């Protein structure tokens, strides 16, 4: 449908909903037929917004419809009590769909991370001192001592499980929000965070690779890292989304672009919160356990299947 035809066919509906809102119709004093009409118009405008965002994503009408939806939602539902269904709808539908909408940005964050990891890993082959430079002498020497003592992953056993999980969750949240927040620097800050963390992981694996423990290190780290790194990549994608709003606002003003993309980026960050908790629990309670490497890879495979289901399939609309 041509844009002009779309607007011409839908304009009366939008104007009518605006009229009802401006007239002060809300839950405090409303006739049943008026409420029914407002709900019907709200659903219609929601469908129009989804259509416009998919087909005319850079036109100002997307902003106008988003604003109209917000006003209508407040008028209809604003004074209703909190409902757990809203929370479940967010985590089981809205967040996965938002992730899929901006999947390319998350993919870019992953690729930046991956390139950095490969760069530091291969660079360590020609410069064995690179791990000390990036990770610090203390951490590398501690790891080497653990390897000599035939307990290469003792770092995961240094504290009680609950204490370890609490510390890990806090640290993961810091890294995630840092990757996201640095997006305000036109996305360059997020690129830096992803690249630097990739460098760290690359030299980390090299230390174990030097001692013939690459398979064991991969299996151990990815027990929790499958979910943890996915959260960091999503946060990186959210940060790049902020950068996109600032650098490439398209037909929007930067303020409008930040309003639209900023809201979606916040949804992405809020959505990873439960995943970060899960990753912290796994790292604090599971990673520390000595188990057969086959079981570790099975556990990783289960995590991958869960992420594919949750982020790739859950909440899809027919």
Residues 301, 83: contact at Cβ < 8 Å? no
Kindly tell me the sign of the dihedral angle through the C-alpha atoms of 152, 155, 158, 161.
Answer: negative
Distances 125 to 3, 115, 204 between C-alpha atoms, Å? 57, 16, 13
**One pLDDT digit (tens) per residue for the chain, 318 residues:** 788 898 999 999 999 888 888 776 555 556 666 677 888 898 899 889 888 888 888 788 888 898 898 888 877 776 555 567 788 999 999 999 999 999 999 999 999 999 999 999 999 999 999 999 999 999 999 999 999 999 999 888 876 767 667 766 788 888 899 999 999 999 999 999 999 999 999 999 999 999 999 999 999 999 999 999 999 999 999 999 999 999 998 878 888 888 889 999 999 999 999 999 999 999 989 999 999 999 999 999 999 999 999 999 998 865
Residue 5 to residues 100, 108, 126, Cα–Cα distance (Å)? 29, 36, 63
Distance of CA 271 to the CA centre of its chain: 6
Q: How far apart, in whole angstroms, are the C-alpha atoms of residue 80 and residue 68?
A: 19
Token pair in block for residue 135: 């990770």
Q: pTM of this prediction?
A: 0.77
> What span, in angstroms and rounded, lies between the C-alpha atoms of 262 and 240?
11
- Please state, in angstroms and as integers, the Cα–Cα distance from residue 22 to each residue in 18, 26, 68, following that order: 6, 10, 11
**In the Cβ-directed half-sphere of 219, how many Cα atoms lie within 13 Å?**
16
């Amino acid at each position: 449908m041509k844009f002009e035809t779309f607007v011409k066919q839908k304009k009366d509906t939008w104007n009518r909903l605006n009229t009802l809102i401006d007239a002060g119709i809300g839950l405090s004093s409303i006739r049943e037929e008026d409420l029914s009409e407002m709900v019907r118009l709200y659903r219609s405008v929601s469908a129009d917004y989804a259509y416009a965002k998919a087909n005319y994503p850079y036109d100002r009408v997307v902003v106008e419809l988003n604003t109209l939806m917000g006003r209508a939602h407040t008028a209809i539902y604003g004074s209703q009590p909190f409902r757990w269904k809203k929370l479940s709808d967010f985590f089981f539908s809205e967040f996965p769909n938002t992730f899929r909408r901006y999947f390319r940005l998350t993919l870019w964050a992953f690729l930046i991370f991956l390139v950095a990891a490969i760069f530091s890993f291969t660079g360590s082959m020609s410069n064995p001192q690179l791990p000390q430079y990036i990770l610090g002498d203390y951490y590398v020497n501690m790891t080497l001592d653990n390897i000599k003592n035939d307990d290469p992953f003792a770092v995961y056993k240094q504290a009680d499980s609950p204490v370890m999980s609490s510390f890990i969750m806090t640290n993961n949240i810091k890294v995630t929000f840092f990757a996201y927040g640095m997006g305000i620097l036109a996305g360059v800050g997020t690129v830096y965070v992803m690249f630097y963390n990739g460098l760290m992981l690359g030299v980390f694996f090299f230390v174990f690779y030097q001692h013939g423990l690459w398979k064991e290190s991969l299996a151990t780290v990815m027990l929790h890292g499958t979910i943890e790194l996915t959260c960091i990549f999503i946060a990186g994608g959210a940060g790049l989304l902020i950068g996109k709003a600032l650098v490439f606002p398209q037909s929007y003003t930067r303020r409008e672009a930040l309003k639209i993309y900023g809201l979606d980026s916040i949804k992405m960050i809020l959505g990873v919160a439960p995943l970060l908790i899960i990753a912290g629990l796994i790292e604090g309670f599971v990673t520390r356990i000595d188990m057969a490497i086959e079981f570790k890879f099975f556990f990783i495979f289960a995590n991958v299947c869960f992420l594919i289901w949750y982020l790739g399939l859950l909440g899809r609309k027919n």
